[in-house]
Amino acid sequence: ADVYGHGLKYERPPFTFQSNNWEALARDRMSQDSLGYVCGSASTGETDRKNRAAFQKWSLVPRRLVKTTSYPRLDTHLLGQNFPSPIAIAPVGVQRIFNPDGEIAAAKAAAREKVPYIYSTAAATSMEDVAKANGNGVRWYQLYWPSNEHNDLTASLLKRAKSNGFSALFVTLDTYKLGWRPSDLDNAYNPFLRSDSIGTALGFSDPVFRSHFKAKHGKEVEDDLHDAASEWAGLIFPGFSHGWEDIAFLRKHWDGPIVLKGIQSVQDAKMAAELGIEGIVVSNHGGRQQDGGPASLDCLVKIVEAVGKEIDILFDSGIRCGSDIAKAMAIGAKMVLIGRPYIYGLVLGGEEGVGHVLRSLLGDLTMNLHLAGIPSVSQEDLNKECLEYDG
């Protein structure tokens, strides 16, 4: 019997259903380097802690005798498409440091669970291989945006993404350089420069990158993976930000929805809406980039009020369980991205581990909504009236 409302049966799981324990379990299975990389955050971790604390300020208040005949519906509509559930796999770089199958395992699990997979520009596996593993799944391409001087490289990446079935473009705006992350600094660790983690890094298969590397270094990528990785990381984290006017270049080279990831201010959300951008991800990168900022959930409240009717709003940073997803959606997000939790699943059980994390979160979400008398995740049913604020 489907006792948990999301296809879950009483079967022994590959690891616990207690989402609170995934991080601790994964910590025991990782090297100090990978552990510092995934669990770490910027500076003192203030933003990271605020991200989590913000969820505790809201409560889902249950209603009774809401006559129901089925489990709540989790389907959602955004970017001109329907999705069976409101979660997606957040872009995370160099996934091979967490499991030898890295992106391949995660992209397979995502397809199996019908959850969109967002593929990172910092991936350790080529986009062609990931597209193959993801098969008929929905996949989106996340761009770390090279400087204008390298527009030919950006155009090449977008063209390849499109021809490999990546249907939306997520442009990450908060990471033109990696944040001040003491855990990585203490370990003298940069996963983008390690040959044991870079694998078939995305750039290595790009014709524009390959010829750029050859012209500059007088050798092929394969002759010196370390130099190639260093060159690639320098291009995708150029150190300086673009301006709003540069979006026109992406629009010209991308035939499909564009989503800006990393929005925290109402002003930027309004700019995006005015420019006709299809979506934004209200995100602070899980508190890994700038520290001392607001909780992403607090930003979501203000941004939904300002532009919720004009642009599709997605959310991430701090989602750890089903009720977190429900709260973000009640506030107005149409979808949430799952970050660290699925990486813990990847560490603990590869493809099966990622699948377990996604199913657990959806099962938890289903039962929370069901027992709160909320019949679906659509704004008609799940909205701020379901919440009480006690911050």
316 is a contact residue toward ligand FNR (CB under 6 A): yes
Rounded distance between C-alpha atoms, residue 238 and residue 216, angstroms: 17
Q: What is the dihedral of CA 192, 210, 119, 295, to 10 degrees?
A: 50
Contact predicate 262/175, CB 8 Å: yes
Long-range residue pairs from 224-231, CB within 8 A, at least 24 positions apart, any chain: 225/195, 225/198, 226/193, 226/195, 228/201, 228/203, 228/204, 229/192, 229/193, 229/194, 229/195, 229/198, 229/201, 230/193, 231/203
By C-alpha distance, which of 355, 366, 326, 339 is closest to 23? Answer: 339
Rounded distance between C-alpha atoms, residue 301 and residue 229, angstroms: 39
Q: Is 93 annotated as a binding residue?
A: yes
382 is a contact residue toward ligand FNR (CB under 6 A): no
340 is a contact residue toward ligand FNR (CB under 6 A): yes
SS3 299: helix
250 is a contact residue toward ligand FNR (CB under 6 A): no
Q: Is 318 annotated as a binding residue?
A: yes
Q: Is 252 annotated as a binding residue?
A: no
261 is a contact residue toward ligand FNR (CB under 6 A): yes
Q: What is the DSSP letter of 114?
A: T
Determine which residue in the list 5, 36, 45, 91 makes contact with ligand FNR, applying CB under 6 A.
91
**Restricting to residues 49-78, which ones interact with ligand FNR according to CB under 6 A?**
51
Choose the catalytic residue: 212, 285, 356, 370. 285
Nearer to ligand FNR (CB atom), residue 35 or residue 60: 35
Minimum distance, C-beta of residue 261 to ligand FNR, in the bound complex (Å)? 5
Nearer to ligand FNR (CB atom), residue 260 or residue 375: 260
Nearer to ligand FNR (CB atom), residue 124 or residue 375: 124
**Restricting to residues 277-296, which ones interact with ligand FNR according to CB under 6 A?**
283, 285-286, 288
Contact predicate 190/226, CB 8 Å: no
How many CA atoms lie within 13 Å of 13's alpha carbon, on the beta-carbon side?
18
164 is a contact residue toward ligand FNR (CB under 6 A): no
Minimum distance, C-beta of residue 129 to ligand FNR, in the bound complex (Å)? 17
Minimum distance, C-beta of residue 262 to ligand FNR, in the bound complex (Å)? 7
By C-alpha distance, which of 128, 103, 144, 171 is closest to 233? Answer: 144
Nearer to ligand FNR (CB atom), residue 99 or residue 120: 120
DSSP 344-390: HHHHHHHHHHHHHHHHHHHHHHHHHHHHTT--BSSTTTSSGGGEEE-
Total residues contacting ligand FNR (rule CB under 6 A)? 24
Minimum distance, C-beta of residue 263 to ligand FNR, in the bound complex (Å)? 12
Minimum distance, C-beta of residue 95 to ligand FNR, in the bound complex (Å)? 9
Does residue 285 have an active-site annotation?
A: yes
Contact predicate 369/73, CB 8 Å: no
Residue nearest to ligand FNR (CB): 339
173 is a contact residue toward ligand FNR (CB under 6 A): no
Nearer to ligand FNR (CB atom), residue 108 or residue 288: 288
181 is a contact residue toward ligand FNR (CB under 6 A): no
Q: Is 120 annotated as a binding residue?
A: yes
143 is a contact residue toward ligand FNR (CB under 6 A): no
By C-alpha distance, which of 146, 155, 206 is closest to 175? Answer: 146
By C-alpha distance, which of 313, 316, 310, 321 is closest to 283? Answer: 316
Minimum distance, C-beta of residue 21 to ligand FNR, in the bound complex (Å)? 16
Minimum distance, C-beta of residue 300 to ligand FNR, in the bound complex (Å)? 13
Looking at the DSSP assignment, which residues form a beta bridge with residue 119?
141
122 is a contact residue toward ligand FNR (CB under 6 A): yes
The two structure tokens encoding residue 205: 């298969």
**Residues recognised as catalytic:** 285
Interface positions with ligand FNR (CB under 6 A)? 37-38, 51, 90-93, 120, 122, 142, 172, 261, 283, 285-286, 288, 316-319, 337, 339-340, 343
